[in-house]
Each structure stands twice: as C-alpha cells, then as structure tokens.
Amino acid sequence: MFRKITTNQKYVVATVYVISMVLSSLDATIVNVTLASLGRAFGVAANEVEAVTVWYLVSLAVIMPASGWLADRFGPRNVFLVALAIYTATNFMAGFAQMLDQLVFCRIVQGFGGGLLVPVGMGLLYRTFPPAERIAVGRVLMFATILGPAIGPVLGGAILEFASWPWTFFVKVPIAGGALLFGIRYLEDERNEAVPGRFDWIGFVLGGAGLGAVMFTVLRGPDIGWTNPALLFCGIVGLIALGTFVWHELRITAPMVDLRLLTNRLFACTIRVSFFANAGFMGLLFVVPLFLQDVRHASPLHTGLATMPEALGVVISTQVVARLYPRLGPSKLMGGSMLLVTVAIAIFAFIKADTPLWLVGGVMFVIGVGMAGLFLPNQAASMATISREKLSGASMVSSVQRQIASALGVAALSTVLSVIGVDRVTAAGPDLKAWKIAFICAAVMTLVASFMGWRVPDEDAAETMQRGA
C-alpha cells in the first residue's frame, strides 16, 4: 500500500507537519488573548471585535471540505505551499490593519490558508509514514499538538505586556515564512496515481455554505442569544444545506467528501472519540482562562503560566503512552485516559475564588497527562485501515470534525456561562454556580469520550501496535 520513501523526506514531511500544526494551534490561542486589546485599539465593543475570531473559523470551515480534492488534483505539496504562502502573507498584512474591517478581511483570507494547511499537512504525514511507524513518529509529532495551546496564552500575554497587538500576528510570519522556503526547497510532490474526477461544485457550495453557516451560528449563539431570529434562520439554513450535502454526496460516484469513509469501523470509532474529547477539552481551555481572569483577576501572562502545565503533562506522558501502546492498544489507553481527564475536570467544579494558581496548574498537568493518552493512540490508529488513495479525504474529515467539536464545546460552555450568569455576587463573594456547571458539562463530554474509547476495535489497529515500530 505504501511505497518506500527516503528517510530524509520523512524528516522533511515531519518538519512541515509540525510547523503547520503549531501555527494552527498557536493562532487559535494567541489571538483570543488579544481581543480585549483589539477592542480598545479600534474603539469597538467586545461583541464586535469577536468577528476577528468568528470569521476566521467560518472561512476555515468553508474551505476545508475542498482540501481533499485539491490535494489529489494538484498534489499535496503544491496545495500545502500555497496555503502556507496565504497564511504567511495575511499574518503580515493583519499587523498593519488600521480598522477592524481590514483586520477581519485579513482573517477571512487567512482562514482559507489555514483551512487547507492542517488537513493537507496531515495527509502528507500519513502518506509518508505507514501504520507501523506512526506511534513512534507520533512521540515527536505530538509536540506540535500541544506547543501552540501551551505557549499561545503566555506569548500573547507577554506581547501585550511588553509590545503591542500587531506583534501577535508578526511573530508568526518568520515561522510560516521559514517553513514555506524550507518546503519549496525540500518537499517532494507525492500524488495519487489516479486523477480525481471533476470538481463537485454542488457539494462544495452545499458543504461550505452549510458548514460555514452552522459554525457561525454556534460561535455567535452564546453572545447574541440562541433565539435571535436572524441567527436561528442562519442555523436552520445551514442544517438544511448540510443535510442536502450528505444526500448529494452519497448519490454521486465522485463526491468531494467521501462520506462512505465513515463506514470504516476503526476510522469511525476514533472520530467519535476525538469529537467528544476535543469538545470537552477545548471547552475547558476556553473556560479556565476566563475564570482566572474574571474571578481570580489574574493577568493574561499569569493565566498562561497557570494553564501551561497541561502541555508539560502531555510532553511527559506521551513518552510513556508510546511504550504502553503496543501492549495495551488504543481502546484501553483512550478509554482509561479520558476517564482520568474526566475526574480532573470534575475537580474544577469545586474550585473557589481564592484557589491558589499552583493548584490550578497541578490539575491542568493531570489533564495533560490524560490527554496524551488520547492524542497519541488516536493519531496512530485512526487511519490504519484507510487506503493510500483515500488519505486526503480522510484527513479532511478528521480535521473538519475537530473544528466542529472545538466550536461546539466552546459554544456549549459559553452558553452555560451567559444563561446562568457569571457576574452575580453574594454576601460570601462571587457566585460560582455558572462556572461549576460549565466544568461539569466539560467533564460529561470527556466521560462520553471515555466510554467510546473503550469500544475502539484494537484488532483493526494491530498493524500500528507492532513493537519496535
């Protein structure tokens, strides 16, 4: 299934994949830290400046469904490098924005680049490393998954404290630009022998519009209210478009998104685990910084330092998980690890306004230890039974589900906070009921992931469990 590829090319692909993942995860965290500063700089309200994040994620969702076809048609190398060029240029331009509309436009175009970067980069990775090698290489590549969320809040806080908001965009330019030059020079073109059929314009319009509308609804719902007529209309239209998209894609012989991939037992199981795990985890990463800044009145820098131990937990635990994987398999590791994460998140339900930051950091460390038991086995096993010809499409499906899961997790917890209210104060101090319920909701999501993790068929992932791989 996989032809022999030189060791040097493996290093090249691993490098560009790591950088693409770091950029993607860094973008999601560092920009969120700057929203308050952007509001002050442009003289707009908080709900207006959120457009910087919302429209980036919407454009991300619109282009992602086409990533698989584009990679198969023009080659993953070419598509990846074009996406990286767009991402680099728009980060540079964003730093010079003089008005909010200019910045939002840059973020929309940037989303088109970012929406191709991760799924195409993932496809390159799975084309290069056969299943037997994925757990070993995953021990190194896992750093890419956690580096952005770990350093994003700290870097963003430090930039705002010692410089200004444009540098939150400028700081990514040399990283992305360096990766672009490296890829142009060393990355080889790996294409499928079979040429894909015509571009599925109907599928692209239905999928992009539907996914974009649903993402917009989910992201804006907690702020403007789920009963807002315009938002309800947008959500209903999005769901109808997605339903029509599914019907259309299952009827044609050359769909843009091969939904039949979800009939693959191992792939479908790992997708379900990843969905609920990411929803709970990303929701938690959204709520904890808010709690620390709004209730504990911690600075952005101190908030980043308090949440950073999660990354340390992932780094340390990943090496252990890699050694246990051949013996235990993905089901026990994912099921047990997500149970540990559930217990750790539940501890946050007992947090108080005066809880020491070191204790928050300790719980985040435990969560990181548990998430390593999800990230690595899921990455290694998910596409073990996917043929080489289907890797681009499978990578796209995996990337889309992570984006939707993250948005839904954040929206669900944000809705809890807005509906119950986070600004109520009692005689004993701030009322933490909304925060407690939000943490419990995140714990329920990861508990569902734990239950599904136990059901992953280890026998299907046997090729990835070979010792010494």
Task: Name residue 426's beta-bridge partners.
Answer: 429
* pLDDT of amino acid 407: 81
| Residue located via tokens 């980060």 | 91
Q: What does the alpha-carbon distance between residue 110 and residue 57 come to, in Å, rounded to a whole number?
A: 10
Residue 415 has φ and ψ, to the nearest 5°, of -65, -40
Going by C-alpha positions, the residue among 10, 56, 61 that lies closest to residue 31 is 56
Residue 109 has pLDDT above 50, yes or no: yes
Q: Are the beta carbons of 369 and 314 closer than 8 angstroms?
A: yes
Based on the structure, what is the number of domains in the chain?
Answer: 2
What are 2's two structure tokens?
A: 């996989």
Q: Binning pLDDT at 50, 70 and 90, where does residue 59 land?
A: confident
Q: How confident is the model at residue 1 (pLDDT cuts 50, 70, 90)?
A: very low
| Tens of pLDDT, residues 222-243 | 778 888 899 999 999 999 999 9
Residue 175 inside a domain? The answer is: yes
| Strand-pair partners of 429 | 426
User: Of the ranges 19-28, 93-102, 129-138, 439-448, which is most confident?
Assistant: 439-448
Residue 214 lies in a domain: no
333 touches 459 (CB < 8 A): no
Q: Which residues of 133-166 are buried (b: 16+ CB within 10 A; e: fewer)?
A: bbbbbbbebbbbbbbbbbbbbbbbbbbbeeeebb
| 427 confidence band (pLDDT: 50, 70, 90) | very low
* Range from 296-300, 397-401, 423-427 that averages highest in pLDDT: 397-401
Q: What is the CATH number of the domain that holds 129?
A: 1.20.1250.20
In the predicted model, what is the mean pLDDT of residues 416-443?
A: 73
> What is the share, in percent, of the chain residues with pLDDT greater than 90?
25
Please check the confidence at residue 444 and state whether its pLDDT lies above 60. yes
Considering the domain boundaries, does residue 199 fall inside one? no
Same domain (yes/no): 162, 284: no
Place 148 in a pLDDT band, splitting at 50, 70 and 90: low
pLDDT in tens, 250-270: 888 878 778 888 889 999 999
- Helices 173-186 and 76-94 meet at what angle, rounded to 10? 160
Same domain (yes/no): 415, 313: yes
Lowest mean pLDDT among 256-265, 385-394, 418-427: 418-427
* Cα 93 from Cα 167, distance rounded (Å): 11
Whether 47 shows a pLDDT value over 80: the answer reads no
> Are 268 and 395 members of one domain?
yes
How far the first Cα of the chain sits from its last, in Å, is: 17
Residues 166 and 288 in one domain: no
Q: Are 183 and 85 in contact (CB under 8 A)?
A: no
Residues 325 and 424 in one domain: yes
Domain boundary among 138, 164, 186: 186
For residue 9, the tally of other CB atoms under 10 A from its CB is 14
Tell me, yes or no, whether 157 lies in a domain: yes
Output the pLDDT for position 150.
Answer: 67
With respect to residue 233, please indicate whether it lies within any of the assigned structural domains.
Answer: no
* Model confidence at 213: pLDDT above 60: yes
Q: Which residues contact 431 (CB under 8 A, 6 or more apart)?
A: 421, 424, 425
- Among candidate residues 167, 186, 205, the one where a domain is terminated: 186
- Whether 261 contacts 267, CB under 8 Å: yes
Q: Which of 198-207, 226-235, 428-437 has the lowest mean pLDDT?
A: 428-437
What's the domain range around 108?
A: 7-186
Please name the residues in contact with 428: beta carbons below 8 A apart, sequence gap of 6 or more.
none
Q: Which amino acid is at 97?
A: A
Same-domain check for residues 150 and 279 = no
Is residue 334 one of the residues assigned to a domain? yes
pLDDT at 311: 81
The answer on 454 and 352 residing in a single domain is yes
Considering the chain, what is the average pLDDT of its residues?
Answer: 83
- In this structure, the answer to whether residues 124 and 270 fall within a common structural domain is no
Q: Which long-range contacts (CB under 8 A, 24 or more apart) does 193-201 make?
A: 194/389, 195/72, 195/73, 196/69, 196/72, 196/73, 196/254, 197/253, 197/254, 198/254, 199/66, 199/69, 199/73, 199/256, 200/69, 200/249, 200/252, 200/254, 200/255, 200/256
Residues 128 and 9 sit within 8 Å (Cβ to Cβ): yes
Domain final residue pick, 169, 186, 203: 186
User: Greater confidence, 330 or 220?
Assistant: 330
Tokens of 246: 């599914």
Average pLDDT over residues 71-80: 88
Q: Identify the band that residue 421 occupies on the pLDDT scale cut at 50, 70 and 90.
A: low
Tell me which residue has tokens 């080489």.
388
Largest CA distance in the chain: 70
- Residue 2: pLDDT band (50, 70, 90) is very low
> Do 47 and 178 share a domain, yes or no?
yes
pTM comes to: 0.81
Residue 295: pLDDT above 60? yes
284/408 same-domain check: yes
Which run of H or E residues covers position 425? strand 425-426
Model confidence at 195, in pLDDT bands (50, 70, 90)? low
Confidence of residue 319 (pLDDT cuts 50, 70, 90): confident
Residues 31 and 152 placed together within one structural domain of the fold: yes
Residue 244 burial (C-beta neighbours within 10 Å; 0-12, 13-18, 19+)? middle
The predicted-structure confidence for 159-184, as pLDDT tens digits, reads as follows 877 788 888 889 889 988 998 999 99
The pLDDT of residue 461 is 85
Same domain, 154 and 261: no
Residue 221 within a domain: no
> How many whole angstroms separate alpha carbon 158 and alpha carbon 91?
19
pLDDT score of 419 more than 80: no
- φ/ψ of 430, rounded to 5, equals -65, 140
Q: Is residue 307 part of a domain?
A: yes
Distance of CA 25 to the CA centre of its chain: 7
Share of the chain above pLDDT 70, in %: 89
